[in-house]
Amino acid sequence: MTKFLQLAVVGISTGSAFALVGIGMVLIFRTTNIVNFAQGAFAVIGGLVMVGLVDDMHGIVAGTLAVLLVALIGALIGVIAVGFRTRTTPLASLIITLGLALLASSLNLLAFGDRPHTYPTIFERAWNIGGVLVQPQFVIVVGVTVLAALLLTLGLQRTIAGQALVACADSRRAAELVGINVRAVAAIAFAVSAALSALGWVLLTPIDPVNYDSDVRIAINGFAAAAFGGLVSIRLALVGGLALGLAEQLIVGYAPGQARQYELAAALVILLVLIGWRSRHEAVE
């Protein structure tokens, strides 16, 4: 039983990080109609920068700087990905984000080398609840995720800024016509999105070390979470991410040998099943 709970604790934490990535993807999709392949890269850069900084300064300062840096990078990527109104279709933007993700991973390789990076946890001790080890970081990442999901959902529905964001995806042309600068909006959406993904990994790297090529795995997990909500529901992306993280940890924990490979394969199969299920509900383009 303790094993199950321990796995569940870890699973829900990693699941929250996936959910943050997925929520970021939903935010970007709902405001720009773009599916952001570089979402995984945001998480990886966040983790790597955190590892680089945490030796020299207090954990919280390092984390904040890492998140801010990634937010800036995200804004830049967003402006590039949105392209030109007349020439760049959403599918073309997807390819651009793919290219940007690749570029990011090359630069990460150059800057950090080819080996997993991690840092010792910044909190001194973990709580022991009935034999289950719970790192404070786990609680923080889950809390942040739920809070972010709540704020974003309300924000998009109830505030004028949120509605402006949604308007850009509803009709880019009409949004520009009334005077909204769509590129500026995309930059904000990408920046917030990037910050969320980075935050997840800034907190999670101690249990899920990052390497320069981790972004593919993270992007796929994030996409699976987002796909659970049809790419438009933040709430469902949250649920999907948590479920995914949980499922992966349980499979790894109870399956014999060759654990790491099955973890990814599990995510992939879940993704494909989700996509197959979605095919019966979504309108064809």
Partner 1 sequence: MKLLEVDDLTVQYGPAVAVDNVSLELEEGERVALIGPNGAGKSSLINAICGMVKPARGRIRVRGRELTGASPGAIVRMGITQVPEGRQVFPTLPVEANLLLGAYGRDFRNELISATIRYLRRKGEIADRLERVYTLLPKLHELRERPAGQTSGGEQQMVAIGRALMAEPRLLAVDELSLGLAPMVVHGLSEFLRRLNEEEGVALLLVEQNASLAFALCSRAYVLETGRVVLSGTSEELENNENVRNAYLGSGLEAADA
Partner 2 sequence: MTTRLLPLGRLGATLAAGAFAIWLAYQLEPGSRALFTLMGLYAIVAIGLSLLMGFAGQISLGQGAFYGLGAYTAGILVVGLDPDERLVNPEAGISPLLALAVAPVLTAAVAAVVGVALLRLRGHYLAFATLALHLILLAVLFAQARFTGGQDPGLAVIKGLDIFGWEVTGILGATPRLTALVWGVVLVTLLLALNLVRSRAGRALQAIATSERTAAAAGINVSAYKLRLFVLSAGLAGLAGGLYVFLLQFLSPDAFPIFLSIQFVVMVAVGGLGSVYGAVFGAVAITWLEDELRELGTRPELLGFELPDQAPQVFSVGVFALILIVVILFFPRGLLPALVAGARRLQRRATAAR
Stretch that binds partner 2, among 2-10, 15-23, 65-73, 275-283 (CB under 8 A): 275-283
Q: Binding to partner 1 by residue 77, rule CB under 8 A?
A: no
- Give the whole-angstrom CA distance, residue 254 versus residue 223: 25
Q: Binding to partner 2 by residue 216, rule CB under 8 A?
A: yes
Residues 6+ apart with CB under 8 A from 190: 28, 36, 74, 75, 77, 78, 79, 81
Smallest distance from partner 2 to CB 12, Å: 23
Taking a C-beta distance cutoff of 8 angstroms, is the pair 23, 152 a contact?
A: yes
Stretch that binds partner 2, among 12-20, 62-70, 129-137, 220-228 (CB under 8 A): 220-228
- The CA–CA distances, whole Å, from 223 to 36, 158, 228, 258, 274 equal 9, 26, 8, 24, 10
Smallest distance from partner 1 to CB 16, Å: 27
CA-nearest of 111, 102, 69, 6 to 199 is 69
Smallest distance from partner 2 to CB 272, Å: 6
- DSSP H helices, 83-181, are 90-112, 136-158, 160-170, 172-177
Q: Tokens 């979605």 — which residue?
A: 278
**Residue 176 tokens, joined:** 């520009």
- Give the whole-angstrom CA distance, residue 120 versus residue 183: 39
Stretch that binds partner 1, among 34-42, 48-56, 64-72, 168-176 (CB under 8 A): 168-176
Q: Residues 160, 279, 281, 283: which binds partner 1 (CB under 8 A)?
A: 160
Give whichever of 183 and 278 is closer to partner 1, judged by the CB atom.
183
Which of partner 2, partner 1, none has residue 147 at its interface (CB below 5 to 8 Å by kind)? Answer: none
* Secondary element (H or E) of residue 31: helix 2-32
Binding site for partner 2 (CB under 8 A): 35, 80, 83-84, 87-92, 94-96, 98-103, 105-107, 109-110, 113-114, 216, 220, 223, 227, 231, 258, 261-262, 264-265, 268-269, 271-272, 275-276, 278-279, 282, 284-285
Binding site for partner 1 (CB under 8 A): 159-161, 163-167, 170-171, 173-181, 184-185, 188
